[in-house]
Amino acid sequence: MSEIAECRTPRVPTPSIESSLSARLLPTVLSIIAGSVDAISFLGLGGLFTAHVTGNLVILAAHLVSGSGAPVAVMLSVPVFVAALGLTRLLAGALESIGFASLRPLLLLQFLLLAGFFVLCASAGPRIDPDATKAILAGMLGVSAMAVQNALVQISLKGAPSTAVMTTNITRFMMDVGDVMLGRKPADIAKARDRAMRTWPAIVGFAIGCGLGATCEAAIGLRSLALPAGLALLAVAMGMTADLEGGQGS
């Protein structure tokens, strides 16, 4: 019976970052998106981190301990992020159960969420009250977009490093550099070198994204969210190529 069930379950190929040039570059583009969104939201929405949920936990805890009222957006960001992660996993599972690869739909979903984030903020002008209802709703769209991105690099793209959690990436990169320099087994050295080569573009991309986001936000305010939204549309196009070539290569 188990063999019959396996035959009836569609096998959905998951593209690898090694499958095409688009797939290799996709994590870097996603890292730039995460870095720019995080910088823009932090500067323009009263200290809200959209990608760096750890930062929101720290801010929330600090406000609660000090007795000062925590911003509504910061309080909502953690449960919204968790809920968006869960819904993204359910959506990916539903797509895979009908034989449809999840990379393109999740990239499209991220783009739509970021586009909504941009539209809401742009319609309010270059500056917005972080406690206004529109600002809170916009911020939650940004948080949800980053939750989708965090999920998709784990379930829809083989071999991709984290594109938003740079503490983990930097730690992993430095450990791998150490293994390359001090390791004795050629196989272990090769694996460490491969991981380092996959990780450093994400680190650099995130840093570039932060710089671009902060610069653009200082110049034109929250309208600078057009940058990550545009890059998310580029990521959708790249995902189409990566998905197709990943399927052909499986």
230: its two tokens: 């545009």
Q: Mean pLDDT, to the nearest integer, of 157-184?
A: 90
- Which helix (H) or strand (E) covers residue 138, if one does? helix 133-155
160: three-class secondary structure by DSSP: coil
How wide is the angle at C-alpha 224 spanned by C-alphas 32 and 242, nearest 5°?
35
CA distances from 112 to 45, 93, 105, 151 (A): 20, 20, 10, 16
Alpha-carbon gap, residue 17 to 22, rounded angstroms: 8
- Does the pLDDT at position 250 exceed 70? no
- Does the pLDDT at position 248 exceed 60? no
User: Residue 35 corresponds to which amino acid?
Assistant: G
Q: What does the pLDDT read at residue 193?
A: 92
Q: Mean pLDDT, to the nearest integer, of 134-143?
A: 95
Q: What is the pLDDT of residues 69-104, one digit of tens each?
A: 677 888 899 899 999 999 999 999 999 899 888 999
Our measurement of the distance from residue 101's CA atom to the centroid of its chain's CA atoms, rounded to an integer in Å, reads 18
Q: Domain ranges for the chain, please list them.
A: 21-163+207-242
On average, the pLDDT of the chain sits at 87
Residue 158 bridge partners (DSSP): 16
Alpha-carbon gap, residue 2 to 228, rounded angstroms: 45
Q: Which residues contact 78 (CB under 8 A, 6 or more apart)?
A: 53, 56, 57, 60
